[in-house]
Structure 1
Amino acid sequence: MDAFTGAVRALLTRVPPAEGVCGSSALKVLFLSFYTSSPHLSSIGRLVEGIVSLGQTECLEFCISPAPPDRRGCEIVIGQEFKAFSRAYPVAFSWLTRLTLEYHAFGNSGITDLISTCCRLRHLNLRFCTLVDSQSTLKIDVPCSELQELEFTGFRCARIELVSVPKLRQVVCQHWPFENPPVRFGYVPELRGVMLYSKAKAGQEPFALSDCLPRSARNLSTLTLCFGDQMIWIQPEHPKQLTPIFRNLATVFLFGIFSECELSWTLFILEAAPALQDFALSRHSCIKTPEYSAEKTNVVWEPSKDLKHLNLKGLHIFGCEDEDKVRNYIRLVMERAVGLLIIELYGENPCIYCDATNLERSKAEKASRHRIMEQLTHGSSSSVEIIIC
């Protein structure tokens, strides 16, 4: 931090004068990534305030984390240091447009207060942070904020409730340790994209998307769900419950479906999303199952016999080892998606937990994709293009 602070001082005192600002230094974009170190924070705060006070800064980003040896178990102390830092330099924080915090602790209203203080903040990323009372609910109620993107990774609390965030467009929630559903949405009329990614733990029961996603989000266009090759943590439900939410959904990614699981259940999303154009899913069974994982169970859902989808154009499948299962699923989709134009068959994505990309397995999987394509096109009059990727 001594060297970092020295470098920041050198940078911020040698910036060429901005056009039209005589004898002053100005920066339009400034991104600083540093540790929570009390002796150095005051220097950084003063230097940043000197720059933003010129009024030329368009993007200001802080990425703040504790030094590596202090990361786990010291969130409360780190949170107090960060709180003192933000209070001591309100001008700098009022110009922040993006903020990433790691291993910080907050009181129940701490995050709402932070967003309100950072009046230009558009993107907030909280990694492995916690509430001081980790059994309480994190409520974010910021009706006047500029916040557009929220990311939570491993945030420890009972639940996350987005009460009112009117300009929010993107939400990412990963690796939640609490009960399902991980987040409940209130007033978020501008919401465009939602990504939920986690490996289900024992005690986490599957939930209905209609209990999580907001009916107020009439512009939701992209949904990404990743199950980490473990239990499927959503429940299929009748389109009557989901169509008001999914009416403008255009792109869906379902990643990390364990390979033993049936695939026909995924059609409940197709049935509930009349505007859907691209549908992608990936399959893989990881050799290593994390400790305390929820039990993998098959998901059962019978799509309506009269389902005819008019707008789906692309179906993209990653992982085709189980030829029968994949082929039958593709036929099921082709029967119901009357406007389908292209089907893309991909090999498995690399897995960091097991050797899913060794040469023999890769060759066998590629051969499976070719056989699936041949079986689907042989004697078929369909105009759907099938591509091996």
Structure 2
Amino acid sequence: MDAIRIHMNAAVSDATDNILNFRNQEIPLRQLSITFYLKYYDCLTIGKAVARARATHSHKLDSAEFIILPEKKLQYCTIDDRRRNGKQLMTFFDACTDAFAGLTRLHLRNLKLAETDIPNIIATCKRLEYLRLSMCQTEDSVLQLQVEHPRLVELDISSAGLELVELPTEPQTIWVQPECPKLLSPVLQNLQVLNLDELPEGRDIAWTCFFLEAAPSLKEMCITVWDHWHYNLTKLTIYGFQPNENFMGYIRHVMEAAVNLEDISLYDRKVLECCEVLDPKIEVAPSRYPQTIEEQELLRKQIIEGLVMASPHIIHFRS
């Protein structure tokens, strides 16, 4: 950390302490936003000042924001530096939990944290509405957030190097804004088959089109939209069944959604009298409806492949 930034950080620390502790108490404190470097004693001064102000004026403080920057510039940080930044942050956090508990917005950058650190921060920051994690990693590449939070409505994670983020089931809809297609292209350039399951019914699904830009090799894309499981549906009948991806994919989706399904009856095309007088020049593809027991058994296995608790015995080929 160069001398200029050390001086600036100390100045921010002193100014925060002076403003919060020695200002005219008749002037209400509505909003607070502080940007500072992760230097322990400066952080401690800021944290203690905010905690005292919150204890005195919590009913007047509408919003409070910490933007915490690492001491080293991003391009000079190593994995050990990020891990050291993470430990410094948690030391600051443990010493000033009262200050963090009053935050409504928190920005963290260039840290490597233990698996439980982020859930602990979220659980402590009871008023938190917005959390941004930029270049923040965890010791495990999977981030599990199983904390129910009454106010957190926006979680911004960028360049985190995480393989998976597991979010809890809340009554509210969780909206995920994907990365810019240009940034994801190197990762998804070989993706050919994509399945998007359980998209909320009635919500905008246009965001899924970003895969068309980010994955130039994409050949198949399947979207499943529903809002709840169907417990009442017990029978499905299809006339005109053909053993293609359209019909078989549809049946699989119904079997996944209708957990109490007892019977699936599949019929061949209906032959109508009007079909006999069609212009002979009009080509009609011959039916591929399975006729033999072997063909029917093979289709049953293909339909239920990979489905949990699905039984092939409920699938009937009717004549």
TM-score by length of 2: 0.58
* TM-fit CA distance, 1:49: 0.8
Quick one: higher RCO (CA 8 Å, sep 6+), 1 or 2? 2
The answer on whether the counterparts of 1:99 and 1:125 sit within 8 Å (CA) in structure 2 is: yes
Contact 1:64 1:102 in 2 (8 A): yes
Q: Within 2, Cα distance between the matches of 1:41 and 1:244?
A: 46
CA distance in 2, matches of 1:235, 1:71: 40
Alignment of 1:33-44 (within 5 A): 33-44=35-46
The question of 1:63 aligning with 2:67 is answered: yes
Alignment map for 1:41-190 (pairs within 5 Å): 41-54=43-56, 55=58, 56-69=60-73, 71-73=77-79, 74-133=81-140, 136-162=141-167, 164=168, 187-190=169-172
**CA displacement, residues 309-358 of structure 1 (integer Å, 9 cap, x when unaligned):** xxxxxxxxxxxxxxxxxxxxxxxxxxxxxxxxxxxxxxxxxxxxxxxxxx
Give the C-alpha shift of residue 71 in structure 1.
3.8
Residues 1:138 and 1:41: Cα distance change in structure 2 (over 3 Å): same
2:15 and 2:152 mapped to 1: Cα distance?
30
How many residue pairs end up in the alignment? 210
Residue number in structure 1 paired with 2:215 = 231
**Which structure shows the higher helix fraction?**
2
CA distance in 2, matches of 1:218, 1:86: 40
For residues 189-228 of structure 1, the aligned pairs below 5 Å read: 189-191=171-173, 193-197=175-179, 198-202=183-187, 205=191, 208=194, 210-211=196-197, 214-215=198-199, 217=200, 220-221=203-204, 224=207, 226=210
Q: CA deviation at 1:152?
A: 0.6
Contact between 2:144 and 2:165, CA under 8 Å: does it hold in 1? yes
* Identity, % of aligned positions: 22
Q: 1:5 aligns with which of 6, 9, 13?
A: 13
Cα deviation code 1:266-289 (max 9, x no counterpart): xxxxxxxxxxxxxxxxxxxxxxxx
Q: In the aligned structure 2, how far is the partner of 1:2 from the partner of 1:139? A: 36
The superposition leaves residues 285-311 of structure 1 with CA deviations (integer Å, 9 ceiling, x where unpaired) of xxxxxxxxxxxxxxxxxxxxxxxxxxx
Amino acid at match of 1:48: V
Change (3 A) 1:206 1:8: farther
Q: For 2:217 and 2:71, how far apart are their aligned partners in 1?
A: 35
How many Å apart are 1:59 and its aligned residue? 0.7
Partner of 1:261: none
Residues 106 and 233 of structure 1: is their aligned pair in 2 closer, same or farther, counting only changes over 3 Å? farther
Evaluate the alpha carbon distance shift between residue 202 and residue 155 of structure 1 in structure 2; reply closer, same or farther with a 3 A threshold. Answer: closer
- For 1:335-354, what aligned pairs fall within 5 Å after superposition? none
Any unmatched runs of 5+ in structure 2?
Answer: 1-8, 229-319
8 Å contact from structure 1 (residues 49, 89) kept in 2: yes
Give CA-to-partner distance per residue, 1:238-277, whole Å, 9 cap, x none. Answer: 45x13659xxxxxxxxxxxxxxxxxxxxxxxxxxxxxxxx
Report the Cα offset of residue 39 of structure 1: 2.1
Q: What is the CA–CA distance in structure 1 between the aligned matches of 2:24 and 2:69, rounded to whole Å?
A: 30
Give me the whole-angstrom Cα distance separating, in 2, the residues matched to 1:158 and 1:119: 27
> Is the Cα–Cα contact under 8 Å of residues 125 and 150 in structure 1 kept in the other structure?
yes
One-letter code aligned to 2:15: A
**TM-score normalized by structure 1?**
0.48
Matched, 1:242 2:225: yes
Question: Aligned partner of 1:39: which letter?
Answer: Y
Q: Can you list the C-alpha shifts for 1:132-164, whole angstroms capped at 9, x where unaligned?
A: 24xx311111124421111110112331111x1
> C-alpha separation between the residues in 1 aligned to 2:64 and 2:112?
23
Report matched runs for 1:23-34 at 5 Å. Answer: 26-34=28-36
* Distance in 2, Cα, partners of 1:6 & 1:140: 35
- Aligned to 1:60, what secondary structure does the other structure show? strand
Pair 234,120 (structure 1): closer, same or farther in 2 beyond 3 Å: farther
User: What's the secondary structure of 1:116's corresponding residue?
Assistant: helix
